[in-house]
Chain A
């Protein structure tokens, strides 16, 4: 089954393997492609991309993430203190 045919329930994020992925949009010309987005790691991919961007087993090792890695991302720029009114 291609990603284009996936239903919401069996979507797995290629990058972090979270099952919390959803359909973001589909092509203006119906049925050509679908874009999915992971609500855990925010990775997005198009159904018609090469497998290394759509298949969790073929996603390149250096770019894989574990959901717990997200907590280590640096906050840029830092959020300043609120001014006292």
Chain B
């Protein structure tokens, strides 16, 4: 396990692991940066982060993208070997998740306090913002963490929230924010607006890499993200308290302090979103920024988001799997693993041991009632304990031979889903489906499953031997 004190330390590791590619030629904010991010995703594999050091229109701006954008980089964020398979990353991620709560260390002073701007703020000068996709309504911060507290419970650290929400930069010091009702910050905003007060917030940009994953994690309302970040990195998590009383990461490049304006809404969007579709336009709350602090020569960390898979899909992969897995295990210890990698877990594949006929369908229904299930999971596939949910060849085999649609497909009508699921009808409501791809067992006696193939003896021995020989052959 390893903790990175800030983004720069992690970029140094990426560079030493040959997972950071520097682009020194002059680039335009549009279309170069988004095009490069998209192209890198198309190349697939162990894609590196990209750092652009020569941005047209700025004297010394630096932009980095794809910091989390491959399983290799994701493993390095966790302090693991860059060749660690997804399944191993999942079990390690889930193990650390269950170490919650870790320790939070409050410290005075941070590098991001080196430069303070509290008048004539111009976010477009301070941050090299760029359009991601041509239909986007403007320029967005899409990888920042937003910190807020509950105005009705201000001193309760457990309900301080750190979340990654999309932020449209609409003016020199004005943003829009998307707090959908399922988001924790929506609870804080509702309380502030019931009181007729602005909600103080801090927006942290270009953070050390673990808080970005935790900010995208659907943890419980009264779980504190900083304690989760500490558990995930195996060391105390360092934060600094702002004058308004909000805790922000020590290792950020920028901290923007401001307020969500009470009871105001304004057109926002569209924005190309995680399902691979634009969100459409909404009237969202607006933010006024009063103060910007940043490191000298700050690095701006952006994220290209396109039709999956792009960097976003790595940021909301194991962060989605682990909470569902742990929440399921408390009810059903028979659950083996959860794959919610696809489109932020709109599809979830779970493997489980089945105690009796019909058991798998109950596991599927439990997924739909987890916090994540309320806003995302729409198709749940349940497979046997000996099927690896991260191996789609195995999952498709189970679907092929163990599903009799008349008995194994359940449609549950009119359940809640995220507003930006394009299948919603109306938006926010969708029928959901559970596919039971487990082997029927008593008393659910169906099909002919008595003679399943297994592997020849000595296969495990030969696999290890051949793996080494093939590696040698191909070096």
B156 located at the interface, meaning its Cβ lies under 8 Å from any Cβ of chain A in the complex: no
Residues of B within 8 A of A15 (CB): 137
Q: Is the CB of A25 within 8 A of B30?
A: no
**A43 partner, pick from B28, B56, B137, B283, beta carbons under 8 A:** B137
**How many Å lie between the Cα of A60 and that of B170 in the bound state?**
21
Given contacts A46-B131, A50-B31, contact A77 B194 (CB under 8 A): no
Q: Is the CB of B59 within 8 A of A81?
A: no
A32 located at the interface, meaning its Cβ lies under 8 Å from any Cβ of chain B in the complex: yes
- Mark out the residues of chain B between 167 and 213 whose CB falls within 8 Å of any chain A CB in the assembled complex: 170-172, 178-181, 186, 189-190, 193-196
**How many Å lie between the Cα of A11 and that of B427 in the bound state?**
35
Residues of B within 8 A of A24 (CB): 124, 171-172
Q: Is the CB of A27 within 8 A of B180?
A: no
Q: Is the CB of A28 within 8 A of B190?
A: no
Residues of A within 8 A of B125 (CB): 25, 28
How many residue pairs link A and B with beta carbons under 8 A? The number is 112
Closest chain B residue to A72, Cβ basis:
B281
- Mark out the residues of chain A between 33 and 85 whose CB falls within 8 Å of any chain B CB in the assembled complex: 33, 35, 37, 41-46, 48-50, 52-53, 60, 62-63, 65, 69-70, 73-77, 79-83
**How many Å lie between the Cα of A63 and that of B269 in the bound state?**
10
Residues of A within 8 A of B95 (CB): none
A29 located at the interface, meaning its Cβ lies under 8 Å from any Cβ of chain B in the complex: yes
Residues of A within 8 A of B427 (CB): 74
B282 located at the interface, meaning its Cβ lies under 8 Å from any Cβ of chain A in the complex: yes
Q: Is the CB of A42 within 8 A of B268?
A: yes
- Mark out the residues of chain B between 55 and 90 whose CB falls within 8 Å of any chain A CB in the assembled complex: 56-59
- Mark out the residues of chain B between 318 and 366 whose CB falls within 8 Å of any chain A CB in the assembled complex: none
Residues of B within 8 A of A52 (CB): 134
Q: Is the CB of A76 within 8 A of B135?
A: no
Q: Is the CB of B131 within 8 A of A76?
A: no
**How many Å lie between the Cα of A80 and that of B194 in the bound state?**
6
Q: Is the CB of A37 within 8 A of B171?
A: yes
Q: Is the CB of A43 within 8 A of B58?
A: no
**A82 partner, pick from B31, B122, B135, B196, beta carbons under 8 A:** B196
In the complex, per-residue mask of B21-63: 1 if CB is within 8 Å of any chain A CB, else 0: 0000000111100000000000000000000000011110000
B284 located at the interface, meaning its Cβ lies under 8 Å from any Cβ of chain A in the complex: yes
Closest chain A residue to B130, Cβ basis:
A46
Residues of A within 8 A of B263 (CB): 79
Given contacts A28-B59, A29-B57, A82-B196, contact A50 B178 (CB under 8 A): no
**How many Å lie between the Cα of A25 and that of B31 in the bound state?**
19
Given contacts A24-B124, A35-B124, contact A46 B30 (CB under 8 A): yes
Q: Is the CB of B194 within 8 A of A83?
A: yes
| Least distance between A27 CB and chain B CB atoms (Å) | 3
| Least distance between B190 CB and chain A CB atoms (Å) | 5
Residues of B within 8 A of A82 (CB): 194-196
Given contacts A53-B131, A82-B196, contact A73 B139 (CB under 8 A): no
| Least distance between A71 CB and chain B CB atoms (Å) | 10
Given contacts A44-B170, A49-B31, contact A74 B282 (CB under 8 A): yes
- Mark out the residues of chain B between 240 and 273 whose CB falls within 8 Å of any chain A CB in the assembled complex: 263, 265-268, 270
**How many Å lie between the Cα of A15 and that of B267 in the bound state?**
13
| Least distance between B261 CB and chain A CB atoms (Å) | 11
Residues of B within 8 A of A35 (CB): 124, 139
B410 located at the interface, meaning its Cβ lies under 8 Å from any Cβ of chain A in the complex: no
Q: Is the CB of A49 within 8 A of B189?
A: no
**How many Å lie between the Cα of A53 and that of B186 in the bound state?**
32
**A80 partner, pick from B59, B171, B190, B281, beta carbons under 8 A:** B190
Closest chain A residue to B187, Cβ basis:
A77
Given contacts A27-B58, A82-B196, contact A41 B172 (CB under 8 A): no
Residues of B within 8 A of A65 (CB): 281
**A44 partner, pick from B28, B137, B284, B419, beta carbons under 8 A:** B137
21 contacts between A and B (CB under 8 A): A15-B137, A24-B124, A24-B171, A32-B56, A35-B124, A35-B139, A37-B171, A43-B137, A44-B138, A44-B170, A45-B131, A46-B29, A48-B28, A49-B30, A50-B134, A53-B30, A70-B267, A74-B282, A75-B265, A79-B263, A80-B194
Known contacts A24-B171, A74-B419; can you find 7 more A-B pairs with CB under 8 A?
Answer: A42-B266, A43-B137, A43-B138, A60-B135, A73-B282, A79-B193, A83-B194
Interface residues of B (CB under 8 A from A): 28-31, 56-59, 122, 124-125, 131, 134-135, 137-139, 170-172, 178-181, 186, 189-190, 193-196, 263, 265-268, 270, 278, 281-285, 419, 427
**Nearest 6 CB-CB pairings of A with B:** A27-B57, A44-B138, A32-B57, A63-B135, A49-B30, A25-B124
